[in-house]
Every structure is written in structure tokens, then in C-alpha cells.
Structure 1
Amino acid sequence: MIPQAQFAVVGGSGTLSSDFPLGANDSGVSIIEDGLQFETPYGKSPSFRLFSIDGRNVLTCKMHGWRQGTSRADASRQIFWVFREAGVKRILTEGGVGTANHLLDIRDFMIPDDYLDLSVRKDVELEGRYLLVMRDPLCAELREELLTRTASHFSGRIFRRGTYAVTDGRHFESPAEVAMLKGHADIIGQSLCPEVYLAREIGACIAGLYFVVNYGEGLVKDWSHEDLKDIFYNDAPMISRIIIDTIRNMKEERSCECAGLRKETLLKGIYNP
């Protein structure tokens, strides 16, 4: 049986080293069950952790379910199928990103409000029965709460809007690719798509908190692997605390428009006989 949870966290590189949510050392957090795996139409799911924040149940998995032997597309389908069956309505993501905007610096936070999908995974869906309206793709309500909670834990720069360019990776981008993105995107990463589509497909809100960990190639200066390592190990507990406090303080009822931005497909004979 898949447990019920209103909230979910898709873990990225920002919290990986802190054994989320345990690294936050929050007395209101308790682990309910660990190592949960489920059979899905797209294969066996990655391992989930079910935990509680002051009585609110949360499902989480590490690094978007990416693992050897499973394509990233199938990992995404497995995760969001489980979220749908669990009744998840609000999803938070996090991760480290590079820059496409030369005004951004290492250890700046960005809570993007839009995306640019340069991945080749655009056909990742569950049943495909909905037309997905990608107006306001990242929930304004969740983003506002993330902004408030980030400011309470972090004294540096926090940007409340911006565009996240999604590339396939797993390599970093070339100088020419970064130059192409400059002026069109602010940050670059590998993990907002197809998550943003799948969240809309299951009727859930999604928003993300992203920490700048490297300069894009050809911008400002060469990035440092030492800086990357320091951020990975030292800042994860803070990011965990921000995510936990965001979930803790969200209002029970949604007042955003996210749920109304999916429509039944008109292609009835193909997707919805």
C-alpha cells in the first residue's frame, strides 16, 4: 500500500549529503518509514522515505530517483506515479545550479518562476490524458513561502524570480552553450524538467529552491571544484531546514491556480478512449 501524503520533496544535490531530513536536526521531524519501494507501470520505484513534520506527512526520494540501470525518464515516471497514488498536492525540489547570468555569484539563492527546456525528455508523461497549460509553471504560493523561509535562515542574496534552463547533462555546459543561454536564462541545471510537467499532470503544485554552486563556463571566472565540495557538504543542513520550515508553514488549503492549469485532452480516441 502506498501511504498518503499531501507533501513531497524531490531531493537534489543540495540536501544529499545531509541525509534529508535528518541533517536538519529539527525536533518536529520524525521518520515514519524508510526504504519504501513500489511496483509501478514503469518499473520498480526508487526508495522513498516517509516522514512527518509536526504531523504533516511528507514523501521524499534522493536525487530524482536517478540510478544505474534505470533511465531518467522512467525514474521520473515512477516517482510521480507514486506521488499521484499517495495524493501528493505540493512538491518542493532543490539543487545546485550553474549560472547563465553573469550578475549571479556563488552561494546566491534563486526561486525561479519560469523555465527553458533544452532537454530531449519532452515526451515524459503518465497516461497523457491532460492538456498541460504551462502558464505560471512554478506555484506562486509555494514560491512565496520558500522566499520567506529562505530569508529567515540565510543572510545572503535571494532572487525571487528567474528562468531555469534545463539541459540533459550529465556533463557541465560548454562556453558556447552558456553564451547561447546568456540573456535567455539565469541558472542552468538538469532537474526541473520533466518534473514540472509531471507535477501539473497529477494536479500538484511544484516550486524549487536552487543554490548557485558554479559559474557557467566563460562567465566571470573559472569555477572551483573546492567551492563545489564545500557547498555540497557544509550548506546541506541549512537547505534542509528551509525546506522543512516551508512545509511546516504552508496553509492547509491551496489558493493558487495550479490545479486549474490542466485540461482534459481533446484527443479522446488516442489518450482517453
Structure 2
Amino acid sequence: MSTVKIGIIGGSGVYGVFEPTERIKVHTPYGRPSAPVETGKIGGVEVAFIPRHGKHHEFPPHEVPYRANIWALHELGVERVISVTAVGSLREEYRPGDIVITDQFIDFTKRREYTFYNGPKVAHVSMADPFCPEMREIFYRTAKELDFSVHEKGTYVCIEGPRFSTRAESFMFRQYAHIIGMTLVPEINLARELGMCYVNIATVTDYDVWADKPVDAQEVIRVMTENNTKVQELLKKAIPRIPRERHCGCADVLKSMFV
């Protein structure tokens, strides 16, 4: 198999635009990934895909093997990670069905494995601007061309899950963030430690419980299904636009990482 430069971590909706041609079992120092890595082509570009929650959605957000997933992609040569996530909205103008090209995050998780450096080496990696600017621009521009309702920026607050927020928590979070989800962290931290580019395509499924209507899991699933078509179109058109050679500086973080 040739080296794959682009990896996708997301849900079952990716299969609508991606037909796997090979399944690869990757053994990592951190156990098994959520599922074997599947490779194939989107728009003529070879990609690797891992279903974040497993083939049968068996991993809740706090139990996803994040380190194994990122390590497996890196082991196969992936340099760019495209993350597809479903999120709740904390702002009126971020409506269900919208796409957000996340540019910042706040971590409110509590008990996850956040790093590859648990000793004897300890690493401190810069996270001031954690998302790849080159890929963010490509996906935002492409979403605009497709006439999707898309937000160029958005702060994602990541909570532990699997429960949804209380109303008090939701009111607090909306003072600082635009969207809320359960899977961005530590996925992005780990990609950063390996010098990988990372972009988050967040699809809004609901207004969180700060709004009048509490979050309903069935409603979330319905809107997610509708959003899948948009994500598929976006991936199909944007991925061929990603340069094979990186000019974004994401790998340079390794040069300034304190170990």
C-alpha cells in the first residue's frame, strides 16, 4: 500500500462518499484503534478512515481509544487529519444544519489520556492556534462555494460526556464558546504532538439546553442524518484541493516543543 497522507476520523456518514478498498489492522502501543483503518479514494485522492466510535458505535465519547486512533494514522504516513464531529449550538446564529470550521477550543473533559508523553519524557506543545490554517481555509471556501450555511470560526467547548449538559452548565459555556461537543479533545492534542495537521468540520445538530427545548437524542440523530449529505459533498470537493506538500507550518510545532 502506498503512503496515505490524509486521514479522516468521523462517523458512518463518511461511507456515503468513501468506498473502502483495503482494511488494515494496525497494532499500536496504546491498544487497538476504534476499528481497522480503511483506505480508499475520495475524488481520486487516497485517504485513510477510522470510525471514531467503532463500526457499530460501541465506544462512547469518554471511552474512544484516541491515542490508538491517532497513532495508527500516523503509523500509516498520515500527515493531515480531517475530523468530522456533531455538535450542539451555544449561540442563536449557529443554527442546526450549519457547518462550523472550528478555530479554537476549550477543554472541559476530566479523565482522558491527553498525551503520548507520560514519561520518562515530558512534552509541552504549543496550542495557541491548534487547527491547520491551510485546511481551514480550503474547507471554508469550499463550503461557501457549495452554498452551505458555514461559519468560518467557532470555539468548541469539549465536555466529558456521555451525558448532555445541565442548563446551568450550558448557560456558563455559552459565555465562552459557540459550539459544544464530546470528542475533539484529546484527539486534537494528540495530533498536535505528532506534528499532524488537524481540521474540524463540526455539524450543528441542535441548540443545547440553554434554549427552551432540552436536547433530545432522537432529534439529534435526525439532523445528523440530514447533515451527512452536506459533509459528503464537502469532502468530495475539498479533499482534491488539499496540497500534497504542506505549507502551513503545523509540523514546525515539533521544533519548539519542550521535551
TM-score by length of 1: 0.83
- Distance in 1 (alpha carbons) for counterparts of 2:247 and 2:36: 31
Show the 5 A alignment for 1:92-241: 92-121=82-111, 123-127=113-117, 130-155=123-148, 157-219=149-211, 221-223=213-215, 227-241=219-233
Deviations 1:226-273 (A, max 9, x none): 542332323313212212322111122211121112346655xxxxxx
Q: Cα gap change, 1:147/1:266 in structure 2, threshold over 3 Å: closer, same or farther?
A: closer
Q: Determine if contact 1:10/1:60 at 8 Å carries over to the other structure.
A: yes
Q: For residue 4 of structure 1, what is the amino acid of its counterpart?
A: T
Q: Determine if contact 1:91/1:206 at 8 Å carries over to the other structure.
A: yes
Aligned to 2:240, the other structure's residue is in SS state helix
**CA RMSD, 1 decimal:** 2.5
Q: Does residue 52 in structure 1 map to residue 41 in structure 2?
A: yes
- Distance in 1 (alpha carbons) for counterparts of 2:112 and 2:162: 17
- Which moves more between the two structures, 237-246 or 135-144? 237-246
Deviations 1:170-190 (A, max 9, x none): 111110110111120000001
Q: For residue 182 of structure 1, what is the amino acid of its counterpart?
A: R
Percent identical residues: 25
* 2:50 match: 61
Q: For residue 116 of structure 2, what is the amino acid of its counterpart?
A: L
Q: Determine if contact 1:9/1:61 at 8 Å carries over to the other structure.
A: yes
The answer for unaligned runs of 5 or more in structure 1 is 268-273
Q: CA deviation at 1:142?
A: 0.6
* 1:245 match: 237
* 1:43 match: 31
Q: Cα gap change, 1:123/1:225 in structure 2, threshold over 3 Å: closer, same or farther?
A: closer
- Distance in 2 (alpha carbons) for counterparts of 1:254 and 1:119: 31
* 1:31 match: 20
Aligned to 2:20, the other structure's residue is in SS state strand
Q: For residue 129 of structure 2, what is the amino acid of its counterpart?
A: D
Q: CA deviation at 1:80?
A: 1.1
TM-score by length of 2: 0.87
Q: For residue 48 of structure 2, what is the amino acid of its counterpart?
A: L
* 1:271 match: none
- Distance in 2 (alpha carbons) for counterparts of 1:160 and 1:54: 24
Q: Cα gap change, 1:167/1:68 in structure 2, threshold over 3 Å: closer, same or farther?
A: closer
